[in-house]
Amino acid sequence: MKRLILTALSIGAASQAAGCIIVSDDNDTGDAQVSWTLLSADVNGNPIAANCPAGATSAIIYSLLEGAPAGDAYVDKYACAAGGGSAADLPEGRYLVWVRLTDSSEATLFAESGSLITDIVAGAVTPVGHSIFVDHAFYQVGWTLTAGGVNASCSQITTEDGVSMLATNSGGGFVDTIVDCEEGEAGRQTITDPLPSSLAGSAYTMAISLINVSNQPIGDAPTIAANPDRALNYGNEYQNLGSVNITVR
């Protein structure tokens, strides 16, 4: 049965449905055929195939019509192991479509996809494919540069060869993500390589540095201390660290 959520939620997350509404099958509706590919990551951050996490029995598809209140999402529930399902009888229009992996009661969130923009056409079936990291998640961050006390761009620092985003956990394990400096400057943000997440919360200390061709730091941002409020609590989560300032040496 298709449900329409009537309670408030944030985009990409959902609360328990407040009731059931039957959506009629007429010429003004179309379907989304939604699939999910489950991923983990190896020690080098490369994606590898994964199964449903232990206890994650349900995959819940949310379809939110563009311009609708955030709580008005259509909901379809399938088995996680099914790998896909239909969001049927959606009124024609543009939607955000995402998937959450939960236990059968929907009380525990194991992983959640991003939201994909999808155009639903009356009388047609639209494929929507999600890739979901089930036990890894991400920090996203941007930066500004200061050199000699004034703002600078990446291109002005001729010795730079990227930015290191070093994530270290409480046990001393770390993942060092290196990206082009331009990826995170001028209001843009970039993401780390996949970092192990857990239901108990995996918190990381983040050291963000401008580096040269020898991977030596030539500028540093203030260290971002590990914080339970910024822990990675479920698969495919994106924790936004905002923007940091890197002072070039």
pLDDT for 108-147, tens place per residue? Answer: 999 999 999 999 999 999 999 999 999 999 999 999 999 9
Could you give the angle at the alpha carbon of 68 between the alpha carbons of 58 and 89, nearest 5°? 55
Closest to 91 measured CA to CA, from 33, 29, 25 = 29
Mean pLDDT of the region 43-71 = 96
What distance in Å separates the CA atoms of residue 70 and residue 210, rounded to the nearest whole number?
39
- The verdict on 128 and 166 lying in the same domain is no
- The verdict on 128 and 148 lying in the same domain is no
Percentage of the residues of the chain whose pLDDT score is greater than 90: 89
Whether 20 has a pLDDT exceeding 80, the answer reads no
pLDDT for 162-204, tens place per residue? Answer: 999 999 999 999 999 999 999 999 999 999 999 999 999 999 9
CATH number at residue 55: 2.60.40.1120
- The verdict on 16 and 90 lying in the same domain is yes
DSSP result, 32-70: EEEEEEEEEE-TTS-EEE--PPTT--EEEEEEEETTS-T
Q: What is the band of 70 on the pLDDT scale with cuts at 50, 70, 90?
A: confident
Q: How many domains does the chain have?
A: 2
Q: What is the band of 26 on the pLDDT scale with cuts at 50, 70, 90?
A: low
Query: Which residue's entry shows tokens 């996809």?
Result: 113
End-of-domain residue from the set 105, 133, 161: 133
Cα 59 → chain centroid: 16
Q: What is the band of 5 on the pLDDT scale with cuts at 50, 70, 90?
A: very low
pLDDT for 205-222, tens place per residue? Answer: 999 999 999 999 999 999
End-of-domain residue from the set 76, 106, 133: 133
Structural domain boundaries enclosing 75: 3-133
CATH number at residue 218: 2.60.40
Given a contact cutoff of 8 angstroms between Cβ atoms, the answer to whether 189 and 218 are in contact is no
Q: What is the 3-state secondary structure (H, E, C) of 196-239?
A: ECCCCCECCEEEEEEECCCCCEEEECCCECCCHHHCECCECCEE
Instruction: Calculate the average pLDDT of the chain.
Output: 91
Taking residue 156's Cβ as centre, other Cβ atoms within 10 Å add up to 12
Segment among 22-26, 34-38, 81-85 with least mean pLDDT: 22-26
- The verdict on 74 and 169 lying in the same domain is no
Whether 25 has a pLDDT exceeding 90, the answer reads no
- The verdict on 115 and 170 lying in the same domain is no
- The verdict on 106 and 143 lying in the same domain is no
- The verdict on 142 and 79 lying in the same domain is no
- The verdict on 113 and 158 lying in the same domain is no
End-of-domain residue from the set 133, 164, 194: 133
- Rounded to two decimals, the pTM is 0.87
- The verdict on 30 and 123 lying in the same domain is yes
- The verdict on 129 and 7 lying in the same domain is yes
- The verdict on 179 and 58 lying in the same domain is no
- The verdict on 89 and 142 lying in the same domain is no
Closest to 204 measured CA to CA, from 164, 183, 231, 236 = 231
